[in-house]
Amino acid sequence: MPELPEVEVVRQSLNKKIKQKKVKKVIIRNPNLRTKIPSNFKNFLENQKIIKVERFSKYLIIYLSNKGCCLLHLGMSGTVHIVTNLKKKNFTNTSFYNSPILPKKHNHVEIIFSNFKVVYNDPRRFGFFEIILDSESLKKRFSHLGPEPFQKKFNLDYIYSFFKNKKKNIKNFLLDQKFVSGIGNIYASEILFFSKINPIKEAGLLKKIECKKIIFFSKKVLLNATKKGGSSIKDFKNILGKKGSFQKDFKVYEREGLKCKTSNCGGIIEKKNISNRSTFFCNSCQKL
């Protein structure tokens, strides 16, 4: 599943291409995504100018000239393609998941501009579109989510009080979008490695210094991943011809059985399943 850095890469690609462009036509080839595409989706978007493309957590927010906006969540396998022609070797994918070029199947939504189109592809159909009418409705839509790691609210007072007397392990908290928005499985393992915290440690047992490390390294890891174009698990390029390269910097993720990269550590990377998610950690750096 795309995590915050990968969704941010999509946002940057989209914003650069469609900002201040007018939607000419919308084609819905299959409305049956995770939730059904709203019946007024086509009329809501057509003839509107795109003001900008923003992001919160793993959601893309496309602001429109009618003061409303369109939300897009990529789900497990959703990708956004920008198509200017159909040459076989032309990279269309705005990020680094699945096909680097526009697939022939599972192209569910097309948003057409004057000389290009944006195509939403999703084989598993876990992604979805939503219509938001105004800023208050948008605020309400995200009210159940915790702050992003980059927001001021994600501070020591917030997380230390949130963790107080909690028995749940810290790995699960980092994946809990009600606690913090945007962190997924890959980056949770990396953040905990840099923080030198064992993923199964109870959150309520964390000291303030450990909470500070989580705040610092959440920002650092996600910013670094975004800077490097996200994590390309497969060797694909985006429409700018760039590859996500953060996977080359993985310290623990998918490194089971390998030596820890920390100087003079000597530890080995282990893998555990925590709540049915693969979790990687160093058996020396991250002792309980």
2 part of the active site = yes
User: 109 by DSSP, 3-state: which?
Assistant: strand
H or E stretch covering 282: strand 277-282
Q: In what order do the strands lie in the sheet with 25-28?
A: 25-28, 107-112, 117-121, 79-83
Task: Label each residue of 38-66 as H, E or C.
Answer: CCCHHHHHCCCEEEEEEEECCEEEEEECC
Q: Residue 37 in contact with residue 129, Cβ under 8 Å?
A: yes
Q: Is 145 left (phi over 0), alpha (psi -120 to 50) or beta?
A: beta
**Helix ranges (DSSP H) in the chain:** 4-18, 41-45, 135-141, 156-163, 170-175, 185-195, 208-227
Q: Residue 202 in contact with residue 168, Cβ under 8 Å?
A: yes
25 part of the active site = no
Among 2, 100, 149, 199, the one annotated catalytic = 2
Among 11, 58, 228, 251, the one annotated catalytic = 58
Measure the CA–CA gap between 191 and 216, rounded to whole angstroms.
9
Smallest CA-to-CA distance from 55 within 86, 90, 80 is with: 80
Among 34, 42, 49, 277, the one annotated catalytic = 277
227 part of the active site = no
Q: Residue 107 in contact with residue 119, Cβ under 8 Å?
A: yes
Measure the CA–CA gap between 57 and 41, rounded to whole angstroms.
23
228 part of the active site = no
Residues involved in catalysis:
2-3, 58, 277
